[in-house]
A and B are shown apart, each in its own frame.
Chain A
């Protein structure tokens, strides 16, 4: 792709279909064909949204095409080469390694790993939110029936081969924001990572990716990254760290006069259970308060503390953090699970993914909805009825990506 190649030159017709001679979707799959055209149009007009750092040639790229095939171990000399590839093949998903390599196109063990930013993935699914029970959908893989709410058997055919369709709501996003803030706070306070080095991205569907660009952690091995993840999740925390030990009768008792540096998880837990430690020392006041708490918890203070640890922990996916060869969705690219983009969140509180990550055009298209549903995008509420609906492209794309609508013949 060169600067002179126009979008129309890749467009096979003037009828609004963005088909191309490099079309990957099966010709009879109308939805994928339509999406492929829509995605190509987005990348043609919005390629500057793609966030690419320096040294692009040292990163591995991967693409999922609309035929379902995945191409990995690719590299590009510069941005223009990449843009050309993207517009030519219009992938359904674009991935990029956080790691830099000497030979990014080589097999994993031959790549020559240089280093990688730290990446944390917070997924709405892992939060098990109550609201998700009411607004998520379930698709039966056998009869394609879509049910509302969480069910264990298909209402139509009793099949148990079911797939959950995430339809995150504003409350889901709010809960995700809380988790991101917890993670960022631990990274700030305990890991000493400056907020300016922490970049929060909406994943494009139902989660956040937090990227840490800090030279102190850039060369950390997978093993070390796993230790970071376990730390952030509070996994394996020993209660003895709180200056408590088990006596001969098995009861947990405080160690009077013990000097403990009141920072990290210790401070976080003490603050959360309102047990203050003065001057980093377990004093009489602490012991008295601890004993009162133990009585209040029927001598089961360990369980109470574990509940606090769970609340305070960052709900990250440790496999993502420790996998130094993983390729991540490229910021600015469209997530084919939603039609929204992976977007940078400058200010988490004011960021609204249903507005700020919605970049697909608003030309009207006809779509056959599989169910009645309310969707809010770009600040507008759409009450969609089962059957034919005329909707903006961005709503249609969202529905098709979610598998709840089919595009109708375009004229």
Chain B
């Protein structure tokens, strides 16, 4: 068994690596050492970077795409500086748009982009390439205050102290991430490569949101302000405020909670999507009506959502139609927000019938 931590190996990133992880302190130092100030963004010299950040954000928000090309045709130093500045501009734009759903969608797709880099780095790295693993250690230790270790003797599993693992919100959010569904041994939670990357994405998502929320800026440069206004208005046109699409019925509180989450731009866990999908199918919504609602989710993918809704409706696979989960199941999934109107029901659909009976 061998523990590798940043304490016994010095982390030396190549510049290229840092360009992919602009949120790291080391990357940030590339712009601070040249005395970069936010006011500098008013200069035309930075216009191409502002446009690049804007294009990235538009791709995220309006097309759900997180393909993004780092321009490697420059000196290493310039590549890192530009990526850090683009990252900063992106945060500024999102801050200035000031819509929760936009912030969350941006945070999710940006963290997915970084996740993609990390997976690629971990996969292409030689099994003994400690440098790339150290990037992972550094990210976790610097950003998430979690020390991760490597169990080299057992398929390179990563491990985190139990108490540290439970500091990550995901451990309480999704069933498969609850402590009971993790492999524990000798005081550590064991995670394979894919799991550690998912943990990274989730934490980075929260971190990006936190950074945007905590940004306090006296003055946003004019060009950035103008772009943010245009993105904001386009978003608002595409996303008018939602009304609970249940007709002639009492909206079950669990479903209402999901609508509220969608309005806030929250990403829904799988059981919540299943509940919403089955409920909408039960309410005789058309596929297009349902897609209209699901497209507000930050990670919306029309092809996948269409397939899944058709599957739930029994139009795919084994033709089995899925019914709305019972209140008991909903409670188990922590999706129940019971109120007085729920008295005596065992399935949220009974509220619709209740209303129709009146």
Contacts and interface: CB of A to CB of B under 8 A. Distances in A.
B264 interface: no
Interface in A253-301: 259-261, 263-266, 280
A189 B185 CA distance: 6
Contacts of B179: 227-228, 230-231
Nearest to A192: B187
B42 interface: no
B176 interface: yes
Contacts of B184: 190-191, 231, 263-265
Contacts of B190: 261, 263-264
Interface of B: 151, 154-155, 157, 161-163, 166, 171-172, 175-176, 178-188, 190, 192, 317-318
B187 A263 contact: no
A250 B186 CA distance: 35
A348 interface: no
A241 to B, nearest CB: 6
Contacts of B175: 236, 238
Contact of A192 (B157, B183, B186): B186
Q: Is the interface of B mostly helix, strand, loop or mixed?
A: mixed
A227 B171 contact: yes
Contacts of B186: 189-190, 192
Contacts of A241: 181, 183
A7 interface: no
A280 B157 CA distance: 11
Interface of A: 189-193, 216-217, 219-220, 223-224, 227-228, 230-231, 234-238, 240-241, 248-250, 259-261, 263-266, 280
Contacts of B318: 248-250
Contact of B180 (A192, A219, A230, A261): A230
B187 A216 contact: yes
B351 to A, nearest CB: 27
Q: Which of A235, A236, A263, A264 has the most CB of B within 10 A?
A: A264
A260 B195 CA distance: 12
Nearest to B155: A259
Given A230-B180, A236-B178, A236-B181, 17 more contacts: A191-B162, A216-B161, A220-B163, A220-B166, A227-B180, A230-B179, A231-B179, A235-B180, A238-B175, A238-B176, A248-B317, A250-B318, A261-B151, A261-B190, A263-B190, A264-B183, A264-B185
Contacts of B181: 236-238, 241
A231 B176 CA distance: 12
A241 B155 CA distance: 17
Contacts of A238: 175-176, 181
30 contacts: A189-B185, A189-B186, A191-B184, A192-B162, A192-B186, A192-B188, A216-B161, A216-B162, A216-B187, A217-B163, A223-B166, A224-B163, A224-B166, A227-B166, A227-B172, A227-B179, A228-B179, A237-B181, A249-B318, A250-B318, A259-B155, A260-B183, A261-B154, A261-B157, A261-B185, A263-B184, A263-B190, A264-B182, A265-B184, A280-B155
Contacts of B161: 216
Nearest to B189: A264
Nearest to B191: A261
Nearest to B151: A261
